[in-house]
Amino acid sequence: MILNIGSLNIDHVYQVDTLVRPGETVTSSRYTKGAGGKGLNQSIAAARAGAEVAHAGCIGEDGESLRQTLQHAGVDVTRIDQVTSPTGHAIIQIDREGRNCIVVYSGANHGLQPETVTGWLDGLGPKDTLLLQHEVNEPERWVRLGREKGMRVLLNPAPAAGCVPRSTLEALDALIVNEVEAAELSRTSMPHEALDRLTAWAPKADIIVTLGAAGCIWGRGNQRSTHYAPKVKAIDTTAAGDTFVGYWVAATAMGHTNAAAIEWAIQAAALCVQRVGAAAAIPAIPAPTP
């Protein structure tokens, strides 16, 4: 099983001509409200890929619709707790080019307690995968707890990689980052150089640096590969990375090779960027034939 300890957000999405600049007011031509949060999106992506997924996280009273969204997608929601703080939410602007600009309020996503997380991990072990992002509090601590249980641990340190301790990197089975996060973590803006540094720091882990429309690069120890994304017309890149992560973790948890998992993740993410929205834009596509 995949246990995803991750954020649950309500997304407020505004279509604008140009992204708002400091001191400026812009009018939005279209507003939609939907389910989002990197955690929730990745659980939905993994479930749409066909994996057995449980989501763990916290919502406020105003977040019950998020639990329902996950349940409808086939995700186990028994580890989602209602707490007194408000549900996390995001204010998202999308411009004519499909570029986005996002403000996130963490709310209940930052209220995770060690006793609660320990309870969520009860009964899980080496056959299970723990997936984490950086939209909950203390993700490194939950990496350690997963490791202690012998789980396979995957970290997507998004939206900000900041300073992930080397000890955390060493403990990972897989790390997926976009170009910005790769640069933050490795202190170099050259993706191939970043991959070299990250594979040196986490020699046992699969490391993937996603490169937007250019696809991604993968490394493990001294091995390297490059994977190209299909050429498509992107209208909204929200949740592209989440789709990629969810499909990759699902594919590898279901026993696909890394190369097949990347291929599937790239196809799913390419469909996602051609649709508007976060969770709603995540496609369900069959596994590629090996």
Give the residue from 144, 166, 131 showing the smallest Cα distance to 244.
131
Segment lying near ligand ADP (by CB under 6 A), choices 19-27, 71-79, 182-190, 235-243: 235-243
Q: Is 288 in the site for ligand ADP (CB under 6 A)?
A: no
Cβ proximity to ligand ADP, 142 vs 244, nearer residue: 244
Cβ atoms of residues 47 and 74 within 8 Å: yes
Cβ atoms of residues 94 and 15 within 8 Å: yes
Determine the Cα–Cα distance for residues 245 and 225; give it in Å rounded to an integer.
Answer: 17
Q: Is 269 in the site for ligand ADP (CB under 6 A)?
A: yes
Determine the Cα–Cα distance for residues 178 and 11; give it in Å rounded to an integer.
Answer: 21
Give the residue from 64, 62, 145, 162 showing the smallest Cα distance to 107.
62
Cα 46 to Cα 13, 38, 114, 178, 251, distances in angstroms = 23, 12, 25, 18, 8
Cβ proximity to ligand ADP, 59 vs 268, nearer residue: 268
If phi > 0 it is left, if psi is from -120 to 50 it is alpha, else beta; for residue 228 that is beta
Q: What is the CA radius of gyration of the chain?
A: 18
Q: Is 213 in the site for ligand ADP (CB under 6 A)?
A: yes
Q: Is 212 in the site for ligand ADP (CB under 6 A)?
A: yes
Q: Least distance in Å: CB of 235 to ligand ADP? A: 9
Give the contact letters, 173-202, x = binds to ligand ADP (CB under 6 A), - = no.
-----x------------------------
Segment lying near ligand ADP (by CB under 6 A), choices 88-96, 99-107, 183-191, 237-245: 237-245
| 201, 244, 248, 264: residue in contact with ligand ADP (rule CB under 6 A) | 244
Compute how many other C-beta atoms are within 10 angstroms of the C-beta atom of residue 215: 17
Give the residue from 10, 20, 84 showing the smallest Cα distance to 40.
10
Cβ atoms of residues 133 and 105 within 8 Å: no
Q: Least distance in Å: CB of 204 to ligand ADP? A: 23
Give the contact letters, 45-74, x = binds to ligand ADP (CB under 6 A), - = no.
------------------------------
Cβ proximity to ligand ADP, 45 vs 47, nearer residue: 45
Segment lying near ligand ADP (by CB under 6 A), choices 100-108, 115-123, 165-173, 239-247: 239-247
Q: Least distance in Å: CB of 201 to ligand ADP? A: 21
* Residue 14, token pair as written in the block: 């505004």
Kindly list the catalytic residues.
242
For tokens 């995957």, the residue is 154
User: Which distant-in-sequence residues (6+ apart) come within 8 Å of 83 by Cβ?
Assistant: 58, 59, 60, 108, 111
Q: Is 160 in the site for ligand ADP (CB under 6 A)?
A: no
Q: Least distance in Å: CB of 25 to ligand ADP? A: 27
Determine the Cα–Cα distance for residues 172 and 153; give it in Å rounded to an integer.
Answer: 5
Segment lying near ligand ADP (by CB under 6 A), choices 11-19, 64-72, 78-86, 208-216: 208-216
Segment lying near ligand ADP (by CB under 6 A), choices 19-27, 136-144, 248-256, 262-270: 262-270
Residues near ligand ADP, by CB under 6 A: 158, 178, 210-213, 215-216, 229, 232, 234, 237, 240-241, 244, 266, 269-270, 273
